[in-house]
Structure 1
Amino acid sequence: MSRTDPPPAGAHVTSDVAHRPAEPRTGSPVLEVTGLVRRFGDLTAVDGVSFRIAPGETYGLLGPNGAGKTTTISMVAGLLAADDGEVTVGGRRMGPREVEPKRYLGLVPQDLAIYPELTARENLQFFGRLHGLGGAARKRRTAEVLDLIGLTDRAKDQTKEFSGGMKRRLNIGIGLLHSPELLILDEPTVGVDPQSRNAILESVEALSTEGMAVLYTTHYMEEAERLCDRIGIIDAGRIQAEGTRQELIRIIGELDEIRLVGTGDAAAAATALRELPAVESVVAEGRALVLHLREAPTAVAGVVTTAGRSGMELSDVEITRPDLESVFLHLTGKALRD
């Protein structure tokens, strides 16, 4: 394949204008999505979706396949026209015909957009030129991105020799080259092994420290909990609920659970534990006491101390917390992976 060939299908968003460094936009959202609607014939794939992302924030769109995530980000990236609603990136209106806002955006699609015959470094250099990066800046940024995605030691290898996870990491690196204000990641860990998946997540975690806004779509609950500052639960083309993990958990009113197993005076311990302000209830189950309370990680030290002072010698302490799977089931009536 010639190095002057056009980019592969599904390639990262670029523009045909010179790259300009992103300007800081403290105090205003990097991305604002208002009332997006997209129909395909009789199917309304996206139905009034609204959300915003601040600088340095990672926002997750969490939902099953077919929920409307990819259609939403296609409109956010200006690849697909909305039937209604508006998208702005740093205050600049986005759309298929708009060029200016795409300078400030990086898109990492589900489909790999890399040249298999080129090395990792050559891929980055090629896409850097498409973004208008000059020679010295392109070389410096390529080295920075290779380090961030953990591929410095494989920089000279052809990417056709890479594992699936390494290709995914390079895919992310291409989206990062021009230091965008907003990076969009569309299910970047699909089909990779656990070790590669963890490496990808570590790379994404590092982005918030650079002040980059990230829109992350996934149907993996654990990824959303690990990476995202705020989460929008999307199903049937609509945002069903939005907030931090704790805000979403409060929707269903579920409490954390601490299970204490041990010997000694469990009855006295139960009485004392019921007096703790954080504890909602205490139930005896054989040799165990089961407590329901809020913010178990914060309260557990006081719980253990109180149980010990009341004559209960503990052999095991287990904490169980409600998760986003519970929230999703509550809101939609189905499991996340249905």
Structure 2
Amino acid sequence: MSAGGGTKAILAALGANAGIAVAKFVGFLFTGSSSMLAESVHSLADTSNQGLLLLGQRTSRRRATREHPFGFGRDRYFYSFIVALMLFTLGSAFALYEGIHKVEHPEPLTSPLVAVVILVVAICLEGYSFFTAMGESRKIKGDVSWWGFIRQSRTPELPVVLLEDTGALLGLVFALAGVGLAELTGDPVWDGIGTIAIGSLLGVIAIILIVEMKSLLIGEGATEQQLDTICTELAAGKVERVIHIRTQYLGPEELLVAAKLALAPNLTVAEVAQAIDDAEARVRAKVPIARLIYLEPDLDRQPA
């Protein structure tokens, strides 16, 4: 996937979260609701996160250097990992702390209607961001489930935005429920309970993102379908079979392929070189992101 779709989703989330963060904080000042404060910090963290994702896209486009000969494509994984950590620390930890404090020391809300109006508007804005991310993701998701897309995608930005927006929408529902129940029952403890629910939700999402981004940052290979296609294209022409193969994503749009190939016997040097060139061309035609291909020719020493 080109960065365009991811950038559109990030910008939609950035604009929505920046506006929502301001509105929520104003709502907290009017109401004193811990749910509103937790949601304000959550939206502020999300706004910062989108800025980091954009920074990662920009720095990943730097040219390769002698010190970094394979380029900087993994910057996008690094900044996505930082986003997951920020979601956990700024979002989850703060909300849990604030929620527990409010449960232990409940305080009555003032002007709860202001909070309800702001939360409903925020749900509309977050919904716009969420459906934008879903629309961009559908272009590359294929037939896999949404959970499968989040687990298997080698492009970090869209899964991050999808999970962030999902957490934001559910968090807003929890905040709305907390404020509403606190007003209906006259018991402000419900506001604290809603805040704890927000913190727990953000913690789960953050852990999922941390695990997935860590895996990408360490280095993941081609998908099963890509690997099958690569092996099929390599084992053609004068190539008798693939002896062994290793693949790794150097960035979301750059795949490294290294393989040892068994060639037909009695080939001249020129024929060996042509067979290798042809194999590379076949792979690139079917898997365009396989930009770096290193092939080692060998004789087939399989026992008869």
TM-score, normalised by the number of residues in structure 1: 0.25
Structure with higher strand content: 1
Structure with higher helix content: 2
Structure with greater Cα Rg: 2
